[in-house]
Structure 1
């Protein structure tokens, strides 16, 4: 005796069937609709985010430039104060802004420097101290990562909405089944139990 595998009928939810409910048809369209939105939408979100991030980082590289500052106070070799990454300590420096005004601010400097030492830092177009700009290769990696995250976030959101809609349809089917069972069940006569 041979065992026959069940015949799969593709697109069964779209076929005419007396047992098919409206929820079945809606569910049949949810998955292709979700993929239709997710695939191009995720790609568009990835590309737009990557280009925007790359443009913003290129703008930062263009705006930020080196400026010579003067250290206001001594920085001890083993400065116990606030430490910055790379074994540097925060110290106060003085510089002249692009508008000619004198400014002071905290920036990470090497330890062991004395007051009056020259320190090169970065400032933006407004004369405010800024971190060093990312290189173009680092900016490309960062923009690519941000773009990938944006694309995946959009795809995840679309799939989550689709999963929630399918769950809600399952709830509606279960509720309808319970209502129908309440109508038909008593007609079957005596229940055991």
Structure 2
């Protein structure tokens, strides 16, 4: 095996009589990989963040809170009504009227033991379909940032891994070339360079 010495900072960019064509190719592959990795990560992350922010902002504008009414008694007892937290709520069947006047029904979370006719606030899209409560501006910003980071990291991983694979292949080829050339010197090292009678 060829001897591998310690790493030297920016060695690929330094002049060296032992530098081969493969070293120069690897230099540009490494540079290109880092540039594409950074650009892909940043651009994909920003695009994802902006897309999520716009989608959530559109939801805050278009989705509306409307009053619905329970059509059947909610599971549970009335004694649990006052102490029930959001996590303890149960599913109840609710009917509401869309902006176009059409009637809709669906399942929403309500307090246990709520009676028929109890008013319940539900969120609907422009077509009157049941949706979740839209995220606040702060929640939307946090969600968009997190998604942007994840998408950016995923996008950056692709060129980085590809670049590492190419560099690994170049490294193996370079080491094989070194091994072959060092092997050619072995017979020369075994020969004497002076006459047998010399001291």
TM-score by length of 2: 0.74
Q: Report the 3-state secondary structure (helix = DSSP H, G, I; strand = E; otherwise coil) of the residue aligned with 2:113.
A: coil
Contact 2:12 2:23 in 1 (8 A): no
Name the CA distance, whole Å, in 1 between partners of 2:75 and 2:26. Answer: 69
Corresponding residue of 1:50? 49
Contact 1:14 1:25 in 2 (8 A): no
Corresponding residue of 2:75? 76
Name the CA distance, whole Å, in 1 between partners of 2:24 and 2:139. Answer: 49
Corresponding residue of 1:24? 23
Structural mapping, 1:89-108, within 5 Å: 89-108=90-109
* Higher-Rg member (1/2): 2
Corresponding residue of 2:171? 170
Please give the root-mean-square deviation of Cα atoms over the aligned residues, in Å: 3.1
Spell out, residue by residue over 1:60-99, the C-alpha distance to the aligned partner (whole angstroms, 9 max, x if none): 1111101111111111326xxxxxx611111111112233
Spell out, residue by residue over 1:168-191, the C-alpha distance to the aligned partner (whole angstroms, 9 max, x if none): 22333355567x47x849968x9x
Contact 2:69 2:117 in 1 (8 A): yes
1:117 equivalent in alignment to 2:137 = no
Name the CA distance, whole Å, in 2 between partners of 1:115 and 1:68. Answer: 14
Contact 2:48 2:144 in 1 (8 A): yes
Name the CA distance, whole Å, in 2 between partners of 1:69 and 1:145. Answer: 34
TM-score by length of 1: 0.76
Name the CA distance, whole Å, in 1 between partners of 2:117 and 2:9. Answer: 83
Name the CA distance, whole Å, in 2 between partners of 1:55 and 1:132. Answer: 16
